[in-house]
């Protein structure tokens, strides 16, 4: 058993998985530190920042926000999910909304996979996306399922990775299983962000 772990460790190190994980975690820490610093600075000048944010965010219709989020999570993750996590804490049912966001994000990733898989039927679009996502193809070939887990948990473009996975016909069942880490991400981030705001 110990020998197998040692061999597996060497494979991961040779493939650069540890380096990729470290870069992703470092990026997450930097982004978190910047966001925290910005809000600390704002709160030092505005005493009732949370009340102002809550009043602003509560004016949004929940169905509209969830629809916008789903579209964003399907089409290349245009809006950072952290913003929506903060929004969920301002609603009447924060845990319910957080659950909805987590499921929608996961579903958006699966839909992005399907879009990527079916895009081959449109040669011009397929060629355009192939050029645009070429670095993601290389990353997928190099790291395989690890990159899907990292994209699910860390600030990497999850839907872009799942779309690229569909385009290279990565096994769907494997992607669906590894993609479940996306749901976990929402609870981890909410634990931090709900304390901040």
Task: Please give the chain's pLDDT, 197 residues, in tens.
Answer: 566 566 655 655 666 665 666 666 676 667 666 766 666 666 666 666 556 656 666 677 888 889 989 998 998 777 788 888 888 888 888 899 999 999 999 999 999 999 989 987 788 877 877 777 777 677 777 777 888 888 898 877 888 889 889 988 899 999 999 999 999 999 988 887 776 54
The token pair that represents 112 in the structure block: 């992005």
The token pair that represents 24 in the structure block: 């992703």
The token pair that represents 137 in the structure block: 């193809």
Closest CA to 141 of 168, 116, 118, 173: 168
Residue 183 and residue 181: Cα distance in Å, rounded?
5
The label of the residue with tokens 């395989």 reads 144
Contact in structure between 152 and 186 (CB atoms under 8 Å):
no
pLDDT score at 92: 85
The label of the residue with tokens 């192939």 reads 130
pLDDT score at 71: 93
pTM comes to: 0.75
pLDDT score at 35: 61
The token pair that represents 21 in the structure block: 């994980």
């Amino acid at each position: 058993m110990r020998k197998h772990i040692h061999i597996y460790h060497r494979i991961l190190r040779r493939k650069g998985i540890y380096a990729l994980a470290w870069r992703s975690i470092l990026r997450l820490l930097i982004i978190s530190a910047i966001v925290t610093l910005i809000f600390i600075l704002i709160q030092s000048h505005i005493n009732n920042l949370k009340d102002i944010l809550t009043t602003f965010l509560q004016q949004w219709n929940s169905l509209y926000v969830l629809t916008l989020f789903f579209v964003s999570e399907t089409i290349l993750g245009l809006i950072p999910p952290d913003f929506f996590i903060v929004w969920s804490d301002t609603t009447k049912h924060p845990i319910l909304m957080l659950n909805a966001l987590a499921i929608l994000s996961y579903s958006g990733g699966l839909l992005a996979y399907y879009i990527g898989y079916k895009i081959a039927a449109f040669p011009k679009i397929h060629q355009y996306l192939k050029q645009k996502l070429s670095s993601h193809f290389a990353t997928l070939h190099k790291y395989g399922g690890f990159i899907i887990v990292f994209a699910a948990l860390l600030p990497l473009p999850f839907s872009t990775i799942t779309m690229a996975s569909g385009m290279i016909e990565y096994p769907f069942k494997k992607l669906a299983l590894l993609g479940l880490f996306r749901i976990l991400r929402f609870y981890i981030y909410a634990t931090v962000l709900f304390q901040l705001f």
